[in-house]
Amino acid sequence: MITKMGRIAAGVGLLATLCVSGQAAADPDLPLTGAVPPPAVALPVLDLVLDGDSFSLRDAFAILDGRPVSARLAADAQANMIKTRAGALAALNNQRVYGWNQALGPLKDRPLSPEQAEQFQRNILRSHAAGVGEPLPDNVVRLAMILKANQMARGTVGVRPEVPQRLLAMVNAGVVPRMPQIGSLGTGDLQPQAAAGLAALGEDAPVRYKGEEGPASEMLPRAGLPRDFTFQAGEALPIISGSTVLAATLLDAVQRATVLADQAEGAFALFMEATRAERGSLDARTHKERHIPEEKKVAARLRAMVAGSGWMTEEGRKRLDPANYHPRIQDAVSVRAAPHIMAGLRHVLADARRTLVREANSSTSNPLIFKRDRGPGYEFVMGGNWDGSVMGHLADTLNAEITDVGVLSQELSGRLLSPRWSYDLPANLAGGTVGLNSGMVQVQTVAAALIPEMQARATPAGTLSRPVKDGQEDHNTMAMASVRHLHENLDRLEMVLSVQYLMAAQGIDLISPKMSGLPLGAVTRTLLAEIRRYIAPLGEDRYLTPDVERAIWLVRNRHLRPSITAGSLLQGAAAPTRQGR
């Protein structure tokens, strides 16, 4: 999985490289001398008060976007945690409890003495911090730590307030533990969260601080934090139990997929302009009859994007060959059914958002501590409330949907190469003399090459359980594998959509002389202009890798995310759906 920081850094470096190529359209604000755009304005601090019940998607996405954070526990949550902790310690006098006075996993039946409690906490984290592979992106780690603190604030896991406060102090100071991606089976995020726990203890687990990596024992004092911290009885297990790393990684995927869903709609609208598609497939009455809310919204946004288009009219369709024109009855399935296909992705995204809000504000550890229903005091309840099955299967389903959108995009790009399928666009989208120039045929194969990789990575990892730990954990959701595959395919979808944008823009520019006097739609002309700020139309054949990479940079950095206002939606709704018929 490519980290978010890696993707952004690669994009900036790519832009610097491409700016010297001379292949892109000149942008007065972007000198072709290797310079990069000026840094973004500093983001305002996100002030979070965690109570275990009110963490929102808006909070999560702000953290993923790099907002600096000032997070603390609500006073009521601290008081509740103190009461629960006291009740838990009292209950240990009469109850044998997993991870408190009993060992873990296959060793669960072995008792621990009170004198062993503190060393056991450290040993838990050391033995479980065995993950490998590329670390998770910094902002995902920050989010995972905040989610863990928020869940602890519910007062059901028996830790002192000092434990989540230690995690939040690290986040607030900018200290980010390095969490390896490989090792978690979706049966709790044991390995990555153990790495964070070791860092919180002040051991030599690696962390990042101000762009530099080093052991926590050295970096915590540099950040103004005490080096050492001690977990008391029962406090290490809640660090590793639960699926907060999985939730944070899936939240990152949901945010990325939402942005790409927007851009997939923009790429489709530009395709419709290039092929002068029938507007009837967007008719609101058709989509209302299907009773799928997401489908109605996709169609409404598409109508807004092409509102006012003169290209998608009978007059526009006649322009390329007036003498031989015959009215078009209907477009191919990939064009007509696109609002429904893309609505599938929106539907799963909505389901994932609901699930993740619940997850962020739930108790996902084992055991949990509750007041007794009858009589005074508290009791421990042991169960499997940490399992990541629901999130894992959502990740698999979301992966299937974004793969289907990738397949659709690749099919639409392929249509643009064929004069018959594109309704008389020049073959291969070649500029200049067709034949002497081969055009964009190999650009399209970039997308085609990625589709089998997407399809292979869309196989549901959630169906591939393996028993481990002497049969104690005999069903594992493999949810982290599901989310890693999802992120890999989101990287691929960025490239596939970039190809569609590049080719649709080329198709529009190739026939624009014949479309003189006919405007593009309200949003599609803006998308085309943004592409042409960075990439010149293809005339005579040229070295095309810089063009493709620059298109990827535009998608990856959200330059081609359509802006749809309430006013444009109304304009799209008012636009006629059958012109000249």
User: Which tens digit of pLDDT belongs to each residue from 173-191?
Assistant: 999 999 998 877 766 788 8
Cβ within 8 Å of residue 495, ≥6 positions away: 446, 447, 450, 552
Instruction: Tell me which of 210 and 16 has the higher pLDDT.
Output: 210
pLDDT band at 473 (very low <50, low <70, confident <90, very high): low
Instruction: Tell me which of 109 and 331 has the higher pLDDT.
Output: 331
Q: Is the pLDDT of residue 33 over 60?
A: no
The pLDDT score that the predictor gives to residue 365 is: 87
User: Which tens digit of pLDDT belongs to each residue from 338-358?
Assistant: 999 999 999 999 999 999 999
Q: Is the pLDDT of residue 463 over 70?
A: no
pLDDT band at 468 (very low <50, low <70, confident <90, very high): low
Average pLDDT value for residue range 458-474? 64
User: Which tens digit of pLDDT belongs to each residue from 47-90?
Assistant: 999 999 999 999 999 999 999 999 999 999 999 999 999 999 99
Beta strands 69-73; 46-50: pairing state: parallel
Entry pTM? 0.89
Do the beta carbons of residue 185 and residue 130 sit within 8 Å?
A: no
Bridge partners for 433 per DSSP: none
The domains of the chain, with CATH numbers, are: 43-241 (1.10.275.10), 251-574 (1.20.200.10)
Q: How far out from the chain centre does Cα 367 lie?
A: 31
323 vs 327: CA distance, rounded Å: 12
Burial class, 39, CB count within 10 angstroms (exposed 0-12 / middle 13-18 / buried 19+) = exposed
Count of helices and strands (H, E) across the chain: 21, 9
- What does the angle CA 37 – CA 38 – CA 41 come to, to the nearest 5 degrees? 130
| Angle between helical axes of 244-275 and 389-417 (0-180°, round to 10) | 20
Do the beta carbons of residue 38 and residue 562 sit within 8 Å?
A: no
User: Which tens digit of pLDDT belongs to each residue from 380-429?
Assistant: 888 777 778 899 999 999 999 999 999 999 999 999 999 999 999 999 99
351 vs 68: CA distance, rounded Å: 28
The pLDDT score that the predictor gives to residue 183 is: 73
The pLDDT score that the predictor gives to residue 327 is: 86
Candidates 71, 201, 189, 57; CA nearest to 136 is 189
DSSP secondary structure, 197-251, as one string: HHHHHTSS-EEEETTEEEEHHHHHHHTTS-S-----TT-SHHHHSS-HHHHHHHH
Number of CB atoms found within 10 A of residue 173's CB: 16
Candidates 485, 489, 497; CA nearest to 552 is 497
User: Which tens digit of pLDDT belongs to each residue from 95-107?
Assistant: 777 777 776 666 6
In the sheet that holds 206-209, the strands lie side by side as: 175-177, 206-209, 212-215
Cβ within 8 Å of residue 454, ≥6 positions away: 402, 403, 406, 407, 489, 492, 493, 496
pLDDT band at 323 (very low <50, low <70, confident <90, very high): confident
Mean pLDDT of the residues in the chain:
87
User: Which tens digit of pLDDT belongs to each residue from 509-552?
Assistant: 999 999 999 999 999 999 999 999 999 999 999 999 999 999 99
3-state secondary structure of 71: strand
